[in-house]
Chains A and B, each alone.
Chain A
């Protein structure tokens, strides 16, 4: 009896406390920028796809929900022919972002991904690719890598000497 009255009293006191409930969706919650929500594929500052299809995100993924296939353009630049994330399996752990050597895959504060059909949670590359660099504006992997691609020959990356001439014996 005493316990019930005490409970009623406690609940009554809550009427005068500050409200924690947010009137979602009318009222938007404040999500920190490093929130691990919907995954996107970003572009480098030149507007080209950042993903080089290295498969590291897929390897890091605990529920194995990322699958892709690498291909190359005619100049040797590697990119994914397809890139698929099955969000019905994704646990939003962020390991893919951590594994990504090119800042291509990033998690965003968007969490509004509810669907009535599970297969609508299977995102292909066109669903994932955004038009900007995301959280890391400056980075361009191919400017650092030694691989030659269209528009960047050997020795033209950052911190690279011009290509050596194997026929020269000059010091």
Chain B
């Protein structure tokens, strides 16, 4: 890769220092200048289609005439002289926007893009204010594109960004450009739900209102009316940065928050549309208390609930607490401090505890560090062991697609990577090496060089065989000839790569796979390759919970006198019998959570916790990056952060010194001090005392409306805005108006730039890090000089079928496997329904037909599940959907018996 240099370009006579690997449009935007554009997107590159970024290019200082060029198609060479302000260039751009607007409908007042529309911004920027065209406007029929995306084709300006994202970037095929001339149509061949897991990004990629957020439309609010704060997605372990928006106490939408090292410009649909649980009917809004045994839990005053819990804790009662990998570090730490580390459990199943501990140990020990999503996208050879990343960590799949797309670009000498069309001509659809070893078919197979579908043990054995092929010192797996040959090819491709990446994770429940991945990475390190590891973890704080609970893996054996459960549905952690007996063995069960579930139904007291949108906290993602999320809005009633409830319980029980904190910063600091691996979490974002020019940072945009009317039907006197003692952000439109530090950016907006494209003004370089560095701090950054540790040597035996038994394995679903997002109506409408998947040959052996019901004997309980044929599933395996109600708590893989069930 060529090293970037700083060069000087002259724009309207003034010198600007820019990077020479950029085009002139990027360079001008990096320099903070305003230049209109449509078809260029920092992640998609340039095609020069819209002709909007025209500038005057001069040969040298003496050239007065110059010529018009497209800035996005011209490299920023040293001493380039251009003019944005040149009269002819301005005229050119004004004409272009007038053409683009000829057919644009008179829709802005009823368009969801209005107020954050790139087309509006660019029209204003070019000065086009009056329509001269008097002819007929062409129109289109819309399509129903499913529950996520609303289609309004009339508004299209034919910039082709949507197709370029959908097909070239995200790699899906069911969306395209149709027809010709001024009638080019962007949509599907026929109505239907978009197949891509990243379709929601069309909302942000489209410069106007052709694709808008359908779930947002249900409770539409303009961007300037949303109260927003920097947040972190809670629906998988990757920790993508988001901007949730609230109005009138309702969470309205999720938007991408740019983070150059993590999610970049995009989000997956689970993260974008999974927010519905915050507004859901199943939210716990008030403290509940069961007054008599077996009776229902009824709402009570918070004092009564706290007094009762304090009474249960009194007189040396044995208290056991269960935290949660979906709760913040602060909440888990406060709970741990209240009951003492000896009585604190991380809230993961025994298997999850083992796997997360192993992953944490491998990443901390080094020398192969974790790969961020950005680093994964830069890998030039990838081996995936066992993970169906599209479904278990969707944004990682998008990164891997970029990795295979970018790898051949390195060979295209002389063509800059941003020159999208030329680059595609040169690479001719070649792809970098991606090897997939998975349980069943996955959505990445269309870009994979080779695919192996095998049982978990055989995938791990392939991993060990690759490590052995790389380094003869690594343990030998003794695999069969085809696997041996495959391992050889994988090893050769990884060895030939400059930045090899090994992906593994927890979704198969196999420690062997994780060990095998580590062995491969270490063997590559021994061979001098800077190999990285990407481990997929299931929840937003899995790794944080693992770092906090090294003492007590799994769930407690008995519930003691008082069992305190926080933000956790235990029925998703172990099978029903185990949880029933655990809850039954406790004299009293107290749950702190935000959403009702099976464990809530069994609790004697329930305290209403805040969701991610109503709380501030720190999460550790799959690469060990600690990131802070901030309260978007103040919850109504008694809802408060879990750590505040724990403080209140401690205070009510007269044990304030066990959880003395009343401000978040104090909990974070205490956590950082008490747990060495977490010592840097305080650096994740500025503390509550942070001010700029003595001011807090406003969560509401300057044009936030309705302040004196929104509460007037209740009380005509305006209430005081809620205080926020935990963060440097204010629930107000008043405060520091400039650019805040990167972890505190509540919304991207800049004068003249109302759309998401305003992120340009917050970056150091376009598509580079945010000014001041991307937010978050990596807790596990082993020095690359560390010598690789001794290999893991326990190679599992090859998978062997058992007579009459099937190895049940979990199959993950982007919509359906995650606990919280499934409660969001648009996600629920696409969620997979329970099934049992078998290879058709196996099904024929059992005499089963499609549509039959199966009895699946799991841990002594029989489940009736409809049969689904899965031709890609290896024989002897039975695929069960991961994380679905009723099946979530059963540890897989496990041997099961299967029988045909009679139809009811």
Name A's B-contacting residues (CB within 8 A): 52-56, 58-59, 61, 63-72, 78, 84-86, 88-89, 101-102, 118-119, 121-122, 124, 141, 144-148, 154-155, 157, 159-169, 171
Contacts and interface: CB of A to CB of B under 8 A. Distances in A.
Contacts of B704: 64
Contact of A146 (B135, B154, B225, B713): B154
Nearest to B134: A159
B706 interface: yes
B557 interface: no
A161 B706 contact: no
Nearest to A56: B109
Contact of A54 (B114, B178, B708, B710): B114
A82 to B, nearest CB: 8
B708 A154 contact: no
B248 A69 contact: yes
B91 interface: no
Contacts of A64: 704-709
B710 A159 contact: no
B876 to A, nearest CB: 47
B248 A122 contact: no
Given A64-B709, A161-B137, A166-B178, 16 more contacts: A54-B114, A65-B709, A66-B706, A67-B709, A70-B220, A84-B713, A86-B716, A89-B708, A122-B713, A145-B110, A147-B152, A154-B139, A154-B141, A161-B139, A164-B185, A167-B178
Contacts of A52: 109-110
B180 interface: yes
B180 to A, nearest CB: 6
Interface residues of B, number: 47
A54 B110 contact: yes
B291 interface: no
Interface in B668-715: 703-710, 712-713, 715
A128 to B, nearest CB: 12
Nearest to A155: B139
Main SS class of interface, B: loop
B103 to A, nearest CB: 9
Nearest to A88: B716
Interface string B200-234: 00000000000000000101111011000000000
B114 to A, nearest CB: 7
Counting from the closest, the 4 A-B pairs by CB-CB distance are A146-B105, A67-B706, A54-B109, A166-B185
A44 to B, nearest CB: 13
B185 A160 contact: no
B543 to A, nearest CB: 40
B308 to A, nearest CB: 39
A84 B136 contact: no
B140 interface: yes
B708 A55 contact: no
A133 to B, nearest CB: 17
A102 B109 contact: yes
B179 A162 contact: no
Interface in B66-114: 105-110, 114
A86 B708 contact: yes
Contacts of B705: 55, 58-59, 61, 64, 66-67
Given A52-B109, A124-B713, A145-B105, A154 B225 contact: no
A65 B109 CA distance: 20
Contacts of A71: 220
B155 interface: yes
Contacts of A78: 110, 220
A168 to B, nearest CB: 7
Contacts of B710: 67, 84
A166 B179 contact: yes
B182 to A, nearest CB: 9
